[in-house]
Amino acid sequence: MTQHTDLLLPGTLWDRIRERTDHALETGALQPIPTECEVVPDEGIDFQVRVAPSLDQKIAEMRAQREKEAAGERFDPFARPEPDLYLGSLTPSHYALLNKFPVLEHHLLIVTWGYEDQQTLLTHPDFTAVDVVLSEVDGLVFFNAGPTAGASQPHKHLQLVPLPLSDGASRLPVDALLEPDRLPEKPTRAPGLPFPHAACRVDFRHQTSEQLAEVFYELRRELGIWYEDAPYNLLATRHWMMLVPRARERFEGLMINALGFAGGFLVRNRDDLEQLRSIGPMRVLRGVSE
C-alpha cells in the first residue's frame, strides 16, 4: 500500500473541514445544491424533506457517467481528488474529501485511496477511518452499498454529515422510533421501525475499530447478509449502528439512499414532494427494503 505523508493531525479535522469549505466556495469548486426543507410527519417520525429544483442536473450527470461506464469509458472522480475539495489522509488507506454537490453543509466523503468497488463489504480499515472521523465530528456516517442502495459512484466511499441535520433539531428524525437509549448492545429490531433492519447501541469513545467492524459483522449475521455484492445501507452515529437490506433503488419513482432511513429525503420538485406526502415516507422506505 502506498504510504501517504499528509495524515491529518488529531484534533484538526473539524477546523480543516470549515477552512476547506470556505476556500472551495471562493474558488467555485464546491457547488452546493440549494434546497427548501419541509417536515412531513408519518407514522411517528417528522421526516425532513428537502426540495432541490437543481437536482435534475446532478441526476443527468450521474446517468451520463453510467452510460459512459457501460460503453467502457470508466471515469473515477476519486482516483485523483480535486485539490480544492481535498482535506488530507485520515488513515493510510482512506482520505477525506468534501462532497462537490452537497445538500447539507460540511458533507464529507471518506474515500479509499486504492480502488475498491462500492459493493465490496466494509472492512476493518473502513471502520478505522470511521472511528477517526466520528471521534472528531459528531455526525451521521452512512454507506450506500451499490446502485440498488443509492450509490452514485462505484469507487468505495462512506459519507458523513454533521449533526443536527437542520436548525432546531437536537437529534435525527429516526431517533423518535429507534429509541437509541433503549437499544441493546446486541443486534435487534427496534419495535417502532416498520422496515427491515438490525440495530444496536455502540460507544465510539470506548470501542476500537476492530470492535466496530465486529458489530457490523453481527448486524449482517442478524439479517443474513453474507454475499459480497449484497445491497444495503449502513448508518452509524457515536451512539448506535443500523443496517438496512435493500431490494430496489427506488419506489414509485422516488430514489432513496441511506439518509432516508435516518429520516431525511431529497426530492427534485414540488410534484415529487406531494407524491411523497401521498404515498407516505415510511411506505417508501418499506418499498425499497422489503
pLDDT at 53: 84
Question: How many CB atoms are located within 10 Å of the residue 185 CB?
Answer: 12
Per-residue pLDDT, 252? 95
* pLDDT for 1: 43
Confidence (pLDDT) at 12: 97
Grid cell listed for 145? 452499498
CA dihedral 161, 164, 243, 148 (to 10 degrees): -50
Residue 205, pLDDT score: 85
Q: Average pLDDT across each block of 10 residues of the chain; the chain has 290 residues. List them in order.
A: 75 98 98 94 97 73 60 80 97 97 96 96 97 96 97 96 84 96 96 97 92 97 92 97 97 96 95 97 98
The per-residue pLDDT for 10 is 94
Instruction: Return the domain boundaries, the chain.
Output: 13-289
Read out DSSP for 56-124? HHHHHHHHHHHHHHHTT----TTTS--GGGEEEEEETTEEEEE-SS-SSTT-EEEEESS--BTTSPP-H
Residues with a catalytic annotation lie at 157
The overall longest dimension of the chain from CA atoms, in Å, is 52
Taking only the tens place, the pLDDT of each residue in 32-82 is 999 999 999 999 999 999 999 877 666 566 556 556 655 666 789 999 999
Q: What are phi and psi of 119, to 5 degrees?
A: -95, 0
Residue with cell 467492524: 213
* pLDDT value at residue 70: 59
CATH number of 13-289: 3.30.9.10, 3.40.50.10490, 3.30.428.70, 3.40.50.1100? 3.30.428.70
